[in-house]
């Protein structure tokens, strides 16, 4: 007779991800018979909350979906509503929105690299423990994170749930005397960003090559943030309003988070997908620094996501400097003229593409809203990655080792579980 063991291992909610979830893993001999990443937090119903609200309320409401990437939700929302109203705020607002996004990438990526990824790969339970051996590196990471917060505050008045963004632009234009000291800080941080890329590239990560579909925005000239067409490494080239033609959301019995597929298959969004698909859009200093590491992109190793984040930190820093070097205050917004319509917005959140669709009435009230966050899009890919990675790791390992590898895989995606509904409780069954 075969022997079945069921072991429940509980990890506190404060394990290094946002939200609550559990991994159910059933191992039969030398194979995984069943694997499911359960997200069991209650649905958050933001789309229904928005119905009947004025368009003026949307930017601040959607910012509450995530405390780490509120800018992304605001930017996708304002783009969609401006499309519904048939308006274009102009080049100054466009540049400031790109700057706003640079701030969010800096703060979010710096947190992930130093609080989630590096402790896993270097064998520490927490970033606090890691700081005892790597105090300068952790200090550098937190300083880069604070620079991102400073950029968000410049335009949003505060770094968490900023209130400066609105349909048509921003609430205010920063003064030159506010910009000058921030620009000096950004310039001084460039060597730190370059060193961070080299440090992350030198951290040993598992050699776990996989085949997967990458999806991101792509812009004709720029590394993508606020604008572009949806592309993939499988030949996709699609306008954002046609998203539903090739991407499908569906419920699964084990999770309150929707799963997504592209042409009925899992796909990856986020920094590794962006870098794989837009390497040629990076400026020469970033490419040169990356080349010096010896790590080559496009990469099929999911554990190179942390390095992709470090590269995007370097890029975001240089892009913010470029924008602020040419900064002059202008009228911060144009007044919207509400009208009945349908608008679409898709921007690159730190964790990947964030798609919004809104239908408005003639007064600009929201009739319907759809929001597809990146973590929900990655759910099916995470489960696929877990199955492949755990097989490659070796199912003969004990529960503690399997749990740590599973947590490392999941944390590698920087999942905003709360946004997607919403580690790690692990239940292992063996036969």
Instruction: Give 232-280 pLDDT, tens digit per residue.
Output: 999 999 999 999 999 999 888 887 778 899 999 999 999 999 999 999 9
Q: Could you tell me what percent of the chain has a pLDDT over 90?
A: 74
CA-closest candidate to residue 75, choices 147, 152, 10: 152
For residue 423, is pLDDT > 70?
no
Mean pLDDT check: name the lowest of 29-33, 93-97, 330-334.
Answer: 29-33
Q: Which contiguous run of DSSP H or E holds residue 380?
A: helix 374-393
Whether the pTM exceeds 0.75: the reply is yes
Mean pLDDT, residues 295-319: 98
Segment 54-76 mean pLDDT: 93
Helix, strand, or coil (residue 301): strand
- Residue 16, classed as helix, strand or coil, is coil
pLDDT of amino acid 251: 84
pLDDT band at 414 (very low <50, low <70, confident <90, very high): confident
Average pLDDT for the chain? 90
Tell me: pLDDT of 215 over 80.
yes
Helix (H, G, I), strand (E, B) or coil at 286: helix
Rounded Cα distance, 411 and 19, in Å: 12
Q: How far apart are the C-alpha atoms of 343 and 375, rounded to whole Å?
A: 22
Band (23; pLDDT cuts 50, 70, 90): confident
Q: What is the pLDDT of residue 255?
A: 79
Examine the pLDDT at 206 and tell me if it is beyond 90: yes
Check: CB of residue 226 under 8 Å from CB of residue 94. yes
In angstroms, rounded to a whole number, what is the distance separating the alpha carbons of residues 309 and 111?
Answer: 10
What residue ranges do the domains of the chain occupy?
A: 46-377
DSSP secondary structure, 329-352, as one string: ----B------SEEEEEEEEETTE
**DSSP output for 260-275:** EEETTB--B-SHHHHH
CATH code of the domain occupying 46-377: 1.10.645.10
Q: Which residues contact 136 (CB under 8 A, 6 or more apart)?
A: none
**Computed from CA positions of residues 395, 397, 398, 400, in that sequence, does the dihedral angle turn out positive or negative?**
negative
pLDDT of residue 329: 97
Report the pLDDT averaged over residues 116-141: 94
Residue 154 · residue 182 · CB < 8 Å: yes
Contact 381, 267 (CB under 8 A): yes
Q: Is the pLDDT of residue 396 over 80?
A: yes
């Amino acid at each position: 007779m075969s022997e079945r063991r069921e072991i429940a291992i509980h990890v506190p909610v404060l394990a290094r991800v946002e939200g609550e979830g559990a991994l159910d893993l059933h191992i039969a001999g030398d194979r995984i018979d069943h694997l499911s990443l359960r997200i069991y937090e209650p649905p958050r119903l933001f789309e229904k909350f928005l119905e009947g609200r004025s368009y003026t309320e949307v930017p601040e409401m959607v910012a509450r979906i995530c405390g780490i990437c509120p800018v992304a939700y605001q930017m996708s929302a304002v783009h969609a509503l401006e499309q519904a109203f048939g308006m274009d705020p102009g080049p100054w607002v466009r540049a400031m929105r790109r700057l706003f996004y640079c701030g969010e990438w800096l703060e979010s990526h710096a947190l992930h690299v130093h609080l989630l990824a590096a402790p896993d790969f270097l064998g520490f339970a927490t970033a606090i423990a890691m700081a005892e051996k790597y105090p300068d590196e952790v200090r550098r990471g937190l300083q880069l994170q604070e620079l991102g917060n400073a950029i968000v505050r410049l335009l949003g008045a505060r770094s968490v749930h900023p209130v400066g963004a609105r349909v048509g632009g921003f609430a205010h234009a920063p003064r030159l005397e506010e910009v000058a000291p921030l620009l000096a800080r950004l310039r001084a941080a460039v060597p730190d960003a370059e060193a961070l890329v080299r440090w992350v590239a030198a951290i040993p990560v598992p050699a776990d090559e996989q085949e997967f579909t990458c999806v991101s925005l792509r812009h004709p000239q720029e590394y993508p943030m606020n604008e572009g067409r949806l592309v993939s490494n499988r030949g996709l080239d699609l306008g954002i309003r046609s998203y539903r033609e090739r991407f499908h959301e569906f419920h699964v019995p084990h999770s309150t988070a929707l799963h997504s597929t592209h042409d009925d298959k899992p796909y990856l969004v986020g920094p590794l997908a962006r870098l794989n698909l837009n390497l040629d859009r990076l400026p020469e200093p970033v490419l040169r620094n990356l080349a010096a590491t010896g790590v080559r992109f496009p990469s099929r190793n999911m554990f190179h996501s942390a390095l992709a984040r470090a590269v995007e930190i370097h890029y975001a820093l240089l892009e913010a400097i470029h924008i602020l070097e040419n900064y002059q205050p202008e009228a911060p917004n144009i007044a919207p003229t509400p009208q009945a319509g349908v608008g679409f917005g898709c921007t690159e959140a730190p964790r990947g593409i964030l798609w919004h669709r809104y239908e408005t009435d003639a007064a600009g009230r929201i009739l319907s809203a759809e929001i597809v966050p990146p973590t929900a899009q990655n759910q099916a890919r995470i489960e696929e990655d877990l199955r492949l990675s755990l097989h490659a790791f070796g199912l003969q390992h004990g529960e503690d080792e399997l749990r740590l590898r599973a947590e490392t895989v999941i944390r590698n995606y920087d999942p905003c579980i709360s946004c997607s509904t919403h580690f790690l409780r692990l239940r292992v069954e063996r036969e």
